[in-house]
Each structure stands twice: as C-alpha cells, then as structure tokens.
Amino acid sequence: MRSGYFKETVAEHINLTDSTLQRIWILIGLIFVVALPFYFGLYGISLITLMAISAIGAMGLNILTGWTGQISLGQTAFMVLGAYAYAISVESWGWPPIIGFALAGIVPAFASVLVGVPSLRLKGLYLAITTLASAFIVNQLVLEFDGLTNGASGIFVNRPTIFGYAFDTDAKLFYLVAFIGLLTVLACLNLRRSRIGRAFIAIRDNDNAARVMGIDLRAYKLYAFMASSFIVGISGALYGIFLSFVTIDGFPLLLAIEALAILIVGGMGSIAGAILGAIFLVGLPEITSAIFGMFGETAKQFLSTGAHEIKGLLYGLVIILFLRLQPHGLMGLWQDAKRAWTLWPLRY
C-alpha cells in the first residue's frame, strides 16, 4: 500500500499519474467508451451522447463554481452563444466546422468578460442572480438580431464533416463528442495543476488570503469566467448538433439547474465527479421511467404527461438528499468506500 506521493523530478510532476494500476484502468475505460455504441440501439446511443455533452458542460461550470467558488446560473446563456456561433458560422456562412467549434468557444469566452466585470465584487446569491440575468439578456438579443440568428425560427444544423470524415450517424456523433470530452478532461486536469488553477482554488478557499499572497482576484476571476464559458460554449454547439436545430427554446433554464445539480451530485470541484454526476442525472429519468413502468400503464401514462415537472422534482429531491446525506457527492461516497477498504478491519 502506498504511504505517500513524493515527487523527485520534473517529469514526475508533469505526469498526470505515476500509478500503473491507474493507467490500466484508464485504458480499460477508453476501450469501454469505444465499445459502447456496439451494445446500444439508437435510443441508447443518443442517451450516452447526451450524457457526454452534459459532462462537458459540467466540467466547464466546475472551473467557475467548483474551483473558483463563483456560483453561476448563466450556463444557458453561454450554451446559446456557443450554439449560435457554430450554427451561424457553419450553416449560414459556410465556414468549416473546425472554425465553428473554435468560435463556439471564443464568442462565449469574450461575452463572459461582459458578465464577469460587473460581477467581480459580487458573491453568493447576488452573483447567481447576475449570471441568471445574462441568460435572459442573451435570449432577447437572439430574438432582436433576427437577421443574423433567424430569431425565434432558429437555425437547422447538419452533422459536421471534419477533414473529409462525415459524422452523419448517431454512433459517429458519439465518437466526436467523446473525443471532445477527452480533450476537455485533459485540458481541465492540466489547468488544475497549473499556477492559474492553484490560484482558482486559493480564491475559492479564502479570497482575502489569496489577495495577501499576491493573487489578482479580478484577473483570475475573469480567467475563470472565460475558461468556463469557452468549454460551456463548445458543449452548447455539440448540443445544437445533437438536436439538429438551434433555437432559444432548446436551451431552457432547467439546463442551468441541471448543471449545478450535476456538480452537487457528482462532487463539487471534481472532474470525475462532473462525469459521474452527468451520467447519474441524465440517466435518472430513465430509471424513474422503468420504476413507474412496474406499476402499470396508468403510472407510465402519468409520467409521460408530466415528464417535465417530474424531472424538475427529481432534480430538486436529489439535490436535497445529497446536500443532507452526502455533501461531497458520488466522489465522497467513492472516497469513503476506498477509506473503508484500506482501513478494514481497523476502521472501527
């Protein structure tokens, strides 16, 4: 059993992991992801694709909320900007999808500065309300600039063709989303270990102490807003491609609540927690549907007629239960299980 993690060379610090066992598990996980489309039908592939898109958006929000401690309800605003940046550049202007994805991250990142600058002195509920207001502003701007955005009618989005390879099936789209998700994980892991990432954590833990240590709170909070919005914008573009249609009605406020719920359920500040939380919450309605189906056709019909309301109710219930019983989320449960296994039978 390992008793410590001592780094003696620069190469050891650069490596994300020096554990052979962890590398084996990572390889097994990658093989599992590649094999997933072969074991699911069209609906199953769509579901796991949605899980992957939600995980990407949650990892983006995790930079701002989980690492920097800035509560945001403006997730939908940056998703809308990313989706429209991609749809307009690719479908309306005919630009390559690679440029569309780049703009899907850059446009929300720059827009986040407009939200971040007035919010630098705000915390808690006041910051959450400010970011929530940005979602309403973005939606109104989309409706006003109908010559560019097509207003309430929206824009149809085709599956992309990148370097001559068409992602024209559900399985191929899943692989595209999974690849972008892998890049997002690597980017977040490296950002967390960098000087900027350590500054984010310091601001979250105690912003006054961070200021005393020489950390420019305004600059690093803006960095957090921009990095978070960049990733969230790309998730918005992927969500628009997944829906094959971009309109403000496709990005309801519930998506922002869902993103926060994913972080709470998975474990605030954890990249793995964001992924686990996305899998759990996106799959929760399916589990509920299976449970309702056990009680007959009447219960199943009730679920289908009130699906939106029941989904919101489930999110609220799950958040309350995790905050009350396991504040550290699914990653907290995993850490408790590891600790119990390691210390058994001396734990008690």
- 16 in any annotated domain: no
Q: What is the pTM assigned to this prediction?
A: 0.89
Hey, what's the torsion of the CAs at 239, 194, 131, 97, to 10 degrees? -30
- 264 in any annotated domain: no
Q: Residue 246 pairs with which residues in a beta bridge?
A: 155
All residue ranges of the chain with pLDDT < 50 are 1
Q: What's the number of domains the chain is made of?
A: 1
- 116 in any annotated domain: yes
Q: What residues make up the domain containing 93?
A: 29-256
Q: What values do phi and psi take at 74, rounded to 5?
A: -100, 20
Q: What is the pLDDT of residue 1?
A: 46
- 17 in any annotated domain: no
- 347 in any annotated domain: no
pLDDT tens sequence across 28-82: 988 988 888 888 888 889 999 999 999 999 999 999 999 998 888 888 999 999 9
* Residues 271 and 184: beta-carbon distance below 8 Å: no
- 39 in any annotated domain: yes
- 178 in any annotated domain: yes
Say how far apart CA 97 and CA 167 lie, in whole Å: 11
Secondary structure E strands in 230-287: 245-246
- 342 in any annotated domain: no
* Residues 135 and 77: beta-carbon distance below 8 Å: yes
Hey, what's the torsion of the CAs at 275, 280, 286, 291, to 10 degrees? 170
Instruction: Tell me the Cα Rg of the chain.
Output: 21
Q: What is the pLDDT of residue 99?
A: 94
Say how far apart CA 136 and CA 77 lie, in whole Å: 8
